[in-house]
Amino acid sequence: MESIISTVLTGVIIVLTFTYLYMKKAHSFFQRLGISGPKPAPFFGILPEYKKKGITELDLELINKYGNVVGIYHGHKPIVLVADPEMIKDICVTKFNKFKNRKVNLDLGPLLRKTVALSDNSQWTFLREHISEVFKPNYLEQITGKVLQSTEHLIQNIEQKLTAENDFNFQELCLAFSVDSLCNSLFGYNVNSYKDRDDKTVNMIKKGWMAGTAGIARPAVACAVCPAMSKIFSAFSYNAIPADVRKFLTNLVTKKMKKRHTEGGRTDLLSFIMTSSRRRSVIVDSQNNTTKSAANMSSDYRLSETEIVANCLFFFLAGYDTTASTVVFTLYCLAKHPSCQDKVVSEISNNLSSENMSYHEIDNLQYLDMVLNETLRLFPTYLRYGRAVGEDTIIKGIKFPKGTEIQFPIYAIHRNKDNFPNPEKFDPDRFSKENVSKRHPMSFIPFGAGPRDCFGQSYAKLAVKLAVVSLMQKYKFSLSSKQNDPPTLAKTFYLRPENGLWLTVDRRMCDL
C-alpha cells in the first residue's frame, strides 16, 4: 500500500514539475523578445481579466500602461497586441504576404473551415475573389429595395409599441431588423421576425449564430490553457455548428440554388454569388444550334455547394449582432446630440427625393456617413482583429516569430488621444475630408485593413444607413430616463450594450 501511495505521489510531483517548467517557459516568451506586458496568472494568463473588466476596459488599460505593443497570454498562448498605426500598416498592407492568415487554434468543423474568415492561403484567395464580388455597388443597388422592406417591418414594430409607450429598448427591435434584412438580402426571404417569433428559418439562423460565436468560448479557453486539447477536439470531430442547423441550412441553400440555377431572374446575394462563381451561363447544343442551361449544377460553378452554404452562414455570423448594435449605437449618439440629429434630418430632407431610396442616394449622404464613422469609432462592433505571423519578421525593431498571433485592439486604437483629441467626445466632423486627410489611415479600422479587411462592410453600412434614414424620416429620438449614460457595455467579443439601449421615441409632425 505504501509503495502505491509513494508511486502516485511521485507521479503527481513529476506532472506538477513538468507543468511548472512548461508554464515558466511559455510565460517567458515576451521577456525573451523584449516586449512588455502584464504578469500572467498561472495557467490562465490574462483570461480572468476579460471576465472581470471586459475587452474594452482591459485593452484601454493595457495600451495606456504598456504602450502600443503589448504581450499578453491566453492561458499559455502568447498574443501580441499592436496599436501602432504604422505597424498595423506594415502588417496588414505593406508586408501582407507575411501576415496573410488568421490564427485559428481550435478547429470549428468542416463547414466553418470553408468560410472566407477561417480559410488560409490559396483557399482564402479563391473564396475572397468570388464572394467579395457580390458586395460591389451594382449588386448593392439591386438589393436596396429588399433592405427597405425590412426597415418597413422595423417601423411597423415601432408603431405597434408606440400604441402603449414611447420609451422602449431598441436592442431586440434592431436585432430583428438585422436578421430580417440578412434573410431578405441573401435569400429573398421577406420575414418580420419580431412579429413571427416561430419562424423556423430565423430560429435556426439564430441558433447557428449562438453556437458559432458564444458557443465556442469554453472550447477556445480549454485549448488556450492546454494546447493539447485542440488535438482532442479534432479527434472527436468537434463541430461548433449543431447538426440540425447544418442540415437545415444546407437543405435551404441547396434548394434555393437549384431553383435559381434553372429559373434565374433572382436579385439576392445568393444569386449574385452563383453568378460571380459560374464557369459558364449556358451550354451550346451544336446539333440544334440552341442554348440551354447547364444540367449539372455542381460542375457549372467554381464554388462548391458546401462553400456557398458555409459562407451564407458566415454572413449571418458576421452581420447579425454587429449590424443591430451599430444601428442602436448610432441612434443613441443622435439621441444624445440633438444638433447632430437635426443635421442628419436636414440632409435627408434636402437630398432624398422619394421614399424609394437608391443605393447611390444613400451613399451620397455625406454627413450621415460622418455620423456613422464617428459612431463606429466610439463603438466599433469588432473589438479585435487578428493575424498570424507567416515567417519571422522584424517591424520597427520588434521581432515577430513565425506562428505568433497578432491582434489589433480596435477600441483602444479608436480612443487614443494621439489619433483623436478629446477621444470620448462624439464629433462627426472628425470625418470630414480635410480632417481624415490629416490622420494616419490605420488610426480608424472598424472593418479591419488591407486585403483581408471585411469585404461586406459596404453592405453593413448600407443596411445601417437605410435603417437610420427610415427612422429619422418618421421619428425624433432622445435618451430615455431608463438609459445609463454612457451605456454599460457587455463583456463580449462583439461590442453591444449590456442591458439593451432605451430611447424615447416621438413621431415627427410630418414625415420627411
Binding-site annotation, residues? 454
Helices first, then strands: H and E counts in the chain: 19, 11
Rounded to whole angstroms, how far apart are CA atoms 446 and 468?
Answer: 19
**Block residue for cell numbers 440552341:** 290
- SS3 category, 267: coil
**Nearest alpha-carbon partner for 439 in 452, 427, 430:** 430
**Nearest alpha-carbon partner for 98 in 396, 398, 402:** 402
According to DSSP, the β-strands at 283-285 and 167-169 are unpaired
Rounded to whole angstroms, how far apart are CA atoms 302 and 244?
Answer: 27
HSE toward the beta carbon, residue 455, CA cutoff 13 A: 20
Rounded to whole angstroms, how far apart are CA atoms 360 and 210?
Answer: 34
Q: Write the DSSP symbol of residue 41.
A: B
- SS3 category, 406: strand
Cell of 149: 422592406
| Binding-site residue positions for heme | 454
Cell of 139: 449588386
The residue type of 63 is I
For 442-499, strand residue ranges (E) read 475-479
* Helical packing angle, 338-351 and 305-336, nearest 10°: 120
Q: For residue 435, give the H/E element and its range.
A: helix 433-438
> Could you give the C-alpha distances from 390 to 28, 58, 245, 394, 495, in angstroms and in order?
21, 28, 34, 12, 29
- 3-state SS string for 282-345: CEEECCCCEEECCCCCCCCECCCHHHHHHHHHHHHHHHHHHHHHHHHHHHHHHHHCHHHHHHHH
Q: Write the DSSP symbol of residue 446.
A: B
Confirm if 270 and 312 have CB atoms less than 8 A apart. Answer: yes
Q: For residue 169, give the H/E element and its range.
A: strand 167-169
Question: Counting beta carbons within 10 angstroms of the beta carbon of residue 360, is it exposed (0 to 12), middle (13 to 18) or buried (19 or more)?
Answer: exposed
At 77, give phi and psi (nearest 5°): -90, 120
**Nearest alpha-carbon partner for 267 in 154, 184, 178:** 184
**Nearest alpha-carbon partner for 369 in 339, 343, 350:** 343
Rounded to whole angstroms, how far apart are CA atoms 78 and 389?
Answer: 12
Rounded to whole angstroms, how far apart are CA atoms 469 and 46?
Answer: 42
